[in-house]
């Protein structure tokens, strides 16, 4: 009997991420410039801050930095979302978190598909922020029905991609040839196709209602709308973008600059105006244009606990209550100043953040602790072990997203004009019904990782302590 050797989910994810990056670099040359810029900044940052390199090595594996990417895709129907969940599962990516972007006037809600286990994140942390259009937030019933009919006519997945997805589900993985074919087939869903599936007049009507509706409903496939490398210094990246011929958005989304970075900071260049061919109903096409795809950079900080996140949300709301960032960036300086003042109340050193329970940490043995585990012995709770220099703590990197920041990136992508009002109205139950499962709770993932690292430290130290007690 012959056995098929399956490609690991992490390897398959790495291949897809690399293929997507190559494809997007070809489609959007400015993205390639962005990747080169980030590579230069990361190298310089690590040279200036060797302690940061040690911290990254202790918590996530520094080698993952150069390959790290996240992408974003917008879907139109529940069926598309449910199938995308199955597709991503083949690559070891699972839905984490629920994001309601209606709070910022964007008619979508979303989840992030990503690896769950620390070892899978270290192997390749590729994530895709996946949004589902919410036509229930559009007041015009006739337009809702029209868009539903448009979306019902399309099939965003090739037959081959679906066949290989089902094969992977049945045999718990894919062999080498199937894995290569799966990546190639799936790329077609994310690829840019410059022919619209609706006429130019219909596109204009959808565009007038909301540009995001036009982006989702006008094409036969969803196309990836941005791909994001990770930088270690987003302010340096923001400042350096113009010299590379890239115009950044006016503000960096997320918390202000800090000594101890938390959560997620993001910036981007504005979406490209691209030529699109619209069918005229007589077998011909007429020229038009569409604005959707852009480049983004992110800087990931520490994962906040629920207590820390509540404080973050409170301070962010306080700042935005006084200064709401203008779409054209005209009050960017005032917003940055108000944001910094608000976050002066948030501790900015790791010991305080830990003692106050605001950040999740990973615990590991120091050199002294490792020696104690081998022969010298130690006992006590984790606080005593930290005090004795046997255990160290490093912040756990935030692997997820922020709804207000995501909305800010969406708005910058959609353009400077004000969009029609969309009422804030989260509907997690409807999203979960469309997805087919409940998204994983991101706080539970971080809490378990922290707790596991504490248990591991205690277990490594206890045998030596018991040996000393028995000898005494």
Residue 136 pLDDT:
87
Q: What is the pLDDT of residues 274-286, one digit of tens each?
A: 898 998 888 888 8
Q: Could you give the CA distance from residue 2 to residue 149 in angstroms, rounded to a whole number?
A: 48
Element (H, E) at 8: none
Secondary structure class of 227 (helix, strand, coil): strand
Average pLDDT (87-97) is: 96
**Strand 391-395 with 361-365, pairing:** antiparallel
Q: What is the CA radius of gyration of the chain?
A: 24
Domain(s) of CATH 3.10.180.80: residues in the chain: 9-301+399-438
Secondary structure class of 353 (helix, strand, coil): helix
Average pLDDT (107-128) is: 92
Say yes or no to pLDDT of 181 above 90.
yes
Q: Could you give the CA distance from residue 64 to residue 275 in angstroms, rounded to a whole number?
A: 36
Which residues does 442 contact at the CB level (< 8 Å), separation at least 6? 96, 97, 303, 399, 400
Say yes or no to pLDDT of 50 above 80.
no
Q: Could you give the CA distance from residue 116 to residue 445 in angstroms, rounded to a whole number?
A: 8
Say yes or no to pLDDT of 129 above 70.
yes
* Beta bridge pairs of residue 248: 269
Q: Could you give the CA distance from residue 341 to residue 336 in angstroms, rounded to a whole number?
A: 9
Element (H, E) at 380: none
Average pLDDT (202-229) is: 88
Query: At CA 317, angle to CA 312 and CA 323, rounded to 5?
Result: 130
Confidence of residue 472 (pLDDT cuts 50, 70, 90): very low
Say yes or no to pLDDT of 370 above 90.
no
Instruction: Give buried/exposed letters for 181-193 (b at 16+ CB in 10 A, else e).
Output: bbbebbbebbebe
Residue 471 pLDDT:
43
Q: How many CA atoms lie within 13 A of 398 on its CB side?
A: 24
Say yes or no to pLDDT of 60 above 80.
no
Say yes or no to pLDDT of 323 above 70.
yes
Q: Could you give the CA distance from residue 131 to residue 438 in angstroms, rounded to a whole number?
A: 15
Average pLDDT (253-272) is: 88
Q: Could you give the CA distance from residue 400 to residue 96 in angstroms, rounded to a whole number?
A: 8
Residue 296 pLDDT:
84
Measure the N-to-C terminal CA separation of the chain; round to a whole number of Å: 58
* Beta bridge pairs of residue 113: 95, 128
Average pLDDT (47-56) is: 72
Say yes or no to pLDDT of 348 above 60.
yes
Q: Could you give the CA distance from residue 302 to residue 235 in angstroms, rounded to a whole number?
A: 17
Which residues does 251 contact at the CB level (< 8 Å), separation at least 6? 267, 325, 329, 332, 335, 336, 408
Q: What is the pLDDT of residues 382-431, one digit of tens each?
A: 888 899 899 999 999 999 998 777 777 666 655 545 445 555 567 899 99
Average pLDDT (359-380) is: 77
Average pLDDT (361-390) is: 80
C-alpha torsion angle, residues 395, 399, 403, 409 (rounded to 10): 110
Q: Could you give the CA distance from residue 251 to residue 263 in angstroms, rounded to a whole number?
A: 16
Could you tell me if 266 and 298 are in contact, meaning their C-beta atoms sit under 8 angstroms apart?
yes
Q: Could you give the CA distance from residue 440 to residue 252 in angstroms, rounded to a whole number?
A: 28
Residue 450 pLDDT:
96
Say yes or no to pLDDT of 469 above 50.
no
Confidence of residue 374 (pLDDT cuts 50, 70, 90): low
Q: Could you give the CA distance from residue 301 to residue 319 in angstroms, rounded to a whole number?
A: 20
Residue 340 pLDDT:
94
Instruction: Give buried/exposed letters for 352-373 (b at 16+ CB in 10 A, else e).
Output: ebbeeebbbbbbbbeeebeebb
CATH number of 9-301+399-438: 3.10.180.80
Say yes or no to pLDDT of 366 above 70.
yes
Cβ-in-10-Å burial (0-12, 13-18, 19+) of 143 comes to middle
């Amino acid at each position: 009997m012959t056995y098929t050797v399956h490609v690991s989910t992490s390897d398959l994810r790495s291949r897809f991420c690399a293929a997507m990056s190559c494809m997007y670099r070809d489609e959007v040359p400015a993205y390639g410039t962005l990747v080169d810029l980030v590579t230069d900044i990361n190298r310089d940052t690590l040279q200036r801050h060797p302690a940061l390199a040690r911290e990254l090595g202790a918590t996530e594996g520094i080698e993952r930095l150069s390959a790290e990417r996240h992408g974003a895709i917008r879907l139109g129907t529940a069926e598309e979302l449910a199938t995308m969940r199955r597709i991503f599962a083949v690559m070891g990516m699972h839905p984490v978190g629920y994001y309601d972007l209606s709070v910022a006037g964007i008619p979508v809600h979303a989840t992030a598909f990503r690896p769950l286990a620390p070892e899978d994140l270290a192997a390749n942390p590729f994530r895709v922020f996946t949004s589902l259009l919410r036509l229930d937030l559009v007041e015009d019933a006739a337009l809702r029905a029209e868009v539903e009919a448009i979306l019902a006519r399309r099939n965003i997945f090739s037959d081959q991609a679906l066949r290989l997805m089902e094969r992977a589900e049945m045999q718990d993985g894919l062999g080498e040839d199937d894995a290569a074919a799966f990546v190639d087939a799936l790329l077609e869903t994310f690829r840019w196709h410059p022919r619209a599936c609706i006429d130019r007049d219909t596109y204009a009507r959808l565009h007038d209602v909301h540009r995001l509706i036009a982006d989702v409903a006008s094409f036969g496939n969803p196309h990836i709308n941005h791909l994001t490398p990770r930088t270690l210094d987003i302010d340096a990246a923001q400042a350096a973008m113009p010299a590379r011929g890239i115009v950044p958005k006016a503000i960096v989304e997320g918390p202000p600059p800090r000594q101890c970075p938390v959560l997620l900071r993001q910036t981007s260049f504005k979406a490209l105006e691209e030529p699109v061919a619209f069918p005229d109903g007589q077998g011909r096409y007429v020229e038009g244009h569409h604005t959707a795809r852009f480049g983004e950079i992110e800087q990931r900080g520490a994962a906040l606990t629920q207590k820390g996140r509540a404080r973050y949300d409170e301070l962010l709301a306080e700042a935005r209550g006084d200064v709401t960032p203008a779409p054209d960036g005209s009050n960017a300086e005032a917003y940055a100043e108000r944001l910094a003042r608000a976050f002066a109340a948030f501790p900015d050193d790791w010991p305080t953040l830990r003692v106050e329970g605001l950040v999740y940490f990973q615990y590991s043995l120091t050199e002294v602790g490792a020696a104690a585990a081998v022969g010298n012995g130690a006992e006590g709770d984790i606080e005593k072990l930290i005090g004795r220099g046997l255990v160290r703590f490093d912040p756990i990197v935030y692997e997820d997203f922020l709804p207000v920041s995501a909305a800010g990136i969406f708005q910058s992508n959609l353009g400077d004009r004000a969009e029609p009002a969309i009422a804030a109205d989260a509907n997690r139950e409807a999203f979960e019904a469309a997805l087919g499962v409940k998204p994983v709770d991101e706080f539970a993932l971080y809490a378990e990782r922290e707790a596991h690292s504490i248990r591991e430290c205690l277990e490594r130290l206890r045998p030596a302590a018991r040996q000393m007690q028995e000898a005494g």
